[in-house]
Amino acid sequence: MRYIEPHAHMVSRTTDDYQSIAQAGCEALCEPAFWAGYDRGSVEGFKDYFRQLTQYEPARAAKFGIPHFTWLCINPKESDDVVFGREVLSIIPEFLDQPTVLGIGEIGLNKNTKNEHTILEEHIALAKERDLPILVHTPHLEDKLKGTRLIVDALKNAQVNPDRVVIDHVEEHTAAIALDAGFWAGMTLYPESKCTPGRAIDILETFGMERIWMNSACDWGISDPLAVIKCALEMKKRQHSGELVEKVIYENPRSFLRQSPNFTL
């Protein structure tokens, strides 16, 4: 079945993973800027990373017929140093006119610090200035509820159009915060944290199928680049129709992503 992978960190994956998702029916893949598995020590390191996301990774994906798109930012795990965060922010506009860039992301919070919040607000300001969609990372585990509320407040204070924001990594206790405020919500399917397929389907059945998508967010940790298609199969086992499954794994992400003129299939 066809699907869109709206959040995957393919710089951390082998070429075999591209082959696997292509064979599974992936018609487009989006890669937000994130942590490199270590804290980068220079702006030049980020410049190289942004080149990797906008030039080299699209070429690798194209070998398997998969359009590759990206989002740019300094991620929350590396944004607690405000001076460094602003230095990285200053180079992002150099890359925003690249043809595969969708917007700003994945921005957000990691430990909910004041400095992280400052860089979050400045990312939001850049997105508003350039009229770009936003992809948001919400914190892990015990920091998630507080962080999600802080992020929603920051977006509301900036008067961002909620239709153009997806708040990712939602779980049972945060999905309503994003959806009730008019934002889109993303569910991340991880084997050991975030959402299992069963939990994700429970969330869909509780909150509905509108303005919500699923992603693998596959990266350097324990994760599965085929998680979306496996969850789709679990939806069918629960007697959800093929039309409803396609809405969640293809139509919904396409509807959001098409708000960027660079997203084409």
CA distances from 12 to 26, 81, 137, 143, 157 (A): 18, 24, 18, 25, 35
Residue-level pLDDT at 141: 87
Strands (E) across the chain are located at: 3-5, 26-32, 68-72, 101-108, 134-137, 165-167, 184-188, 212-215
The mean per-residue pLDDT over the stretch 112-133 comes to 98
Over 90: is that where the pLDDT of 175 sits?
yes
Say which amino acid occupies 163.
D
Instruction: Identify whether the C-beta of residue 171 lies closer than 8 Å to the C-beta of residue 199.
Output: yes
DSSP-derived 3-state class of residue 191 = coil
Count of Cβ atoms closer than 10 Å to residue 2 Cβ:
13
Residue-level pLDDT at 194: 84
Over 90: is that where the pLDDT of 263 sits?
yes
Instruction: Identify whether the C-beta of residue 8 lies closer than 8 Å to the C-beta of residue 33.
Output: no
Over 90: is that where the pLDDT of 239 sits?
yes
The mean per-residue pLDDT over the stretch 208-221 comes to 96
Residue-level pLDDT at 112: 97
Cα-Cα-Cα-Cα torsion 144, 224, 244, 201, nearest 10 degrees, comes to -50
Over 90: is that where the pLDDT of 191 sits?
no
- Number of Cα atoms under 13 Å in the Cβ half of residue 14: 3
191 or 92, higher pLDDT: 92
The mean per-residue pLDDT over the stretch 11-27 comes to 97
Domains in the chain, CATH or no CATH each: 3-257 (3.20.20.140)
Over 90: is that where the pLDDT of 182 sits?
yes
DSSP string spanning 122-171? HHHHHHHHHT--EEEEPPPGGGHHHHHHHHHHHHHHTT--GGGEEE-S--
Predicted confidence (pLDDT) per residue in 47-102, tens digit: 999 999 999 999 999 999 999 999 999 999 999 999 999 999 999 999 999 999 99
Q: What percent of the chain has pLDDT over 70?
A: 100
Q: What percent of the chain has pLDDT over 90?
A: 96
